[in-house]
Amino acid sequence: MRVTIFGVSGLLGKALMQEWSGDIVTGLTSRAADIRDARRVEAVVQETRPEWIVLAAAYTDVDGCESNPDLAFAVNRDGAANVATAAKMAGARLLFLSSDYVFAGNKTTPYETCDARNPQSAYGRTKAEAEIKLLELMPDCCIVRTSWLFGTGGKCFPDTILKLAASRPAIDVVNDQRGCPTYAVDLARAITQLCRKSANGIVHVTNAGDCTWFEFAQEIVRGAALSTTVRPVSSQQMARPAPRPAYSVLSPAGLQALGIEMPPWRDALRRYLEQRQSR
């Protein structure tokens, strides 16, 4: 199988390139192929002749999207449409990475793939509108919603917590936002399986289990054997430019129906900490 991956300089893109084996995989950075440039996207798709395209390229700075929505929509919605158009012309399948931020966060039970989109932030709107556009352009595409991505080789929540904990006796972390941490390595492996199973439609892919950011931080500090105290605070106390969903746990039912199981997030965190230490 020939696979072309857009966005290999990010956490997920790096993991995809490291984990994907047994197929012919071409990885493209945003410098090599800016998805806002429709002609360039079409050219690289024609050159690489993929059977599957994985679109991991995105503008993921949630607060940055809030202050620069034009750029966010140009990349996350219009760029995604450029890739889908090129995929359709080339007869390739498409897997697109989306987000838990397409939901409002006002549920108290896991979000199903069929639940209504109701994004509260600019980033969430870009992903929600991209989903709608892609399903119009390519009804057989696969949309993978994920959340709270972490991994080695880039900025992520565990990396930030470990750096803060190394220099402070105590850190404050919000305890009123609940979601599912997702290890880039596990997500990459699931994406490989989804492509090989010719999956379509919307699938939720996160590590098993859920927690608050505070609980996640506690586990990170404990796993790294640090003595830093983690203190719970409210989102109001740690105000950010973009609103975050209070509850964005994603149901794994669709993924499990395809015979794919994700490891628990605590197990994923342990492996992340081991990998980070070995680096």
Sole residue written with tokens 């605590």: 266
pLDDT value, residue 117: 98
Residue 148 and residue 26: Cα distance in Å, rounded? 26
153 pLDDT above the threshold of 90: no
Q: What is the mean pLDDT of the chain?
A: 97
At 142 the pLDDT is: 98
Q: Domain 2-155+181-208+248-263: give its CATH architecture.
A: 3-Layer(aba) Sandwich (3.40)
Q: Under a CB-based contact definition with an 8 Å cutoff, are residues 3 and 25 in contact?
A: yes
pLDDT at residue 55, rounded to an integer: 98
Query: What is the rounded average pLDDT of the residues 73-85?
Result: 98
Q: Strands 149-150, 170-174: parallel, antiparallel or unpaired by DSSP?
A: unpaired
Q: Is 114 helix (H, G, I), strand (E, B) or coil?
A: coil
Return phi, psi of residue 51, to 5°: -90, -30
Of 79, 90, 82, the residue nearest 57 (C-alpha): 79
Give the residue extent of every domain in the chain: 2-155+181-208+248-263
| Percentage with pLDDT > 90 across the chain | 96
Residue 53, number of CB atoms within 10 A of its CB? 28
Closest CA to 182 of 174, 173, 191: 191
Residue 279: the pLDDT is 78
Active site residues: 123
pLDDT one-digit tens code per residue, 43-76: 999 999 999 999 999 999 999 999 999 999 999 9
What's the pLDDT at 239?
83
Contact criterion met (CB below 8 Å) for 28 and 6: yes
What confidence score (pLDDT) does residue 278 get?
Answer: 87
How large is the average pLDDT for residues 214-238?
A: 96
Question: What is the predicted pLDDT for the residue at 222?
Answer: 97
Say how far apart CA 197 and CA 201 lie, in whole Å.
12
- The per-residue pLDDT for 187 is 98
Q: What value does the mean pLDDT take over residues 135-164?
A: 96
CA 57 to chain centre: 10
pLDDT at residue 118 greater than cutoff 90? yes
> Band of the pLDDT at 78, cuts 50, 70, 90?
very high
